[in-house]
Structure 1
Amino acid sequence: MIMNNNIKGFHHFAIKAQDFDKTVQFYNTLNFEIVHSWSLPEFNLQRCVMMKNKAFECYIEICDRNAAFPTEGRKRREGDPHIENALLHICFIVDDAKKAYNEAIENGATALSQKETLSLKNAQKAITVSNSLVYSPNGEVIEFLESVVF
């Protein structure tokens, strides 16, 4: 088995919030504060925030419930019980998103999205991120994110 020494640490986890404002407020009570907000119309994402814990280096990304991001499971059909998980992905900081993607595929992951660069814009600033995504052998969506500061 190839050991992935490219992973530098945990960055964030992302959730799809059924009630965006209430979810942001809840995480605020857990010592998280908004450090960036954006929308990505190409992913049907109207509202998204990155929140950082004030006490330690940990982030949570909260997306509105209409976000069209890759996730495990299938979307709920009319009349279905809730079946789509709230957790969107697990993210690891890496030096090279493409290398991490290739190593993950070599170790049993399934391809989802090779390295891409996205601009997360709001009225105050734009942040450019480079990442890749795979499904773990267990089905979780794993994001490999090249270092970025929110």
Structure 2
Amino acid sequence: MNNITGFHHFAIKAQDFERTVQFYKTLNFEEVHDWSLPEFNLEKCVMLKNKAFDSYIEICDNNADFPTQGRKRKQGDPYVENSLLHICFTVIDAQKAYDEAIKNGAKPLSAKETLELKNKRKSVTVSNSLVYSPNGEVIEFLEAVVF
């Protein structure tokens, strides 16, 4: 498939729209567009862009009637397992990113750790941390690494 030219965005359905948008703004995303689509029961949706790495996150309100992975998260569920495992951002310092995310409303999952990813040909050492966003998606903060 030679037609693909790059990655554009992740889309998430927000349990608490305003809180979720605000959280991603603390990760240096800024709103570049908003819209509604009444035919999909979508009252509000925004596209947020991080100019540092030219990528987007689309955040839609919880009532939107869009196809999704897995089942709708029920109130009180710590998370719902489905095809999207996590969103990963590269960072300079995984512990600092973790601490800042917690300060801005994320829930702890795994503070900075260093892991060795080995196979028969090669070993790659990674340092990362993970949080649950206020909306529940898993966010990985990964220090620069070459695979």
Q: TM-score, normalised by structure 2?
A: 0.50
Largest Rg, 1 or 2: 2
Where relative contact order (Cα < 8 A, 6+ residues apart) is larger, the structure is 1
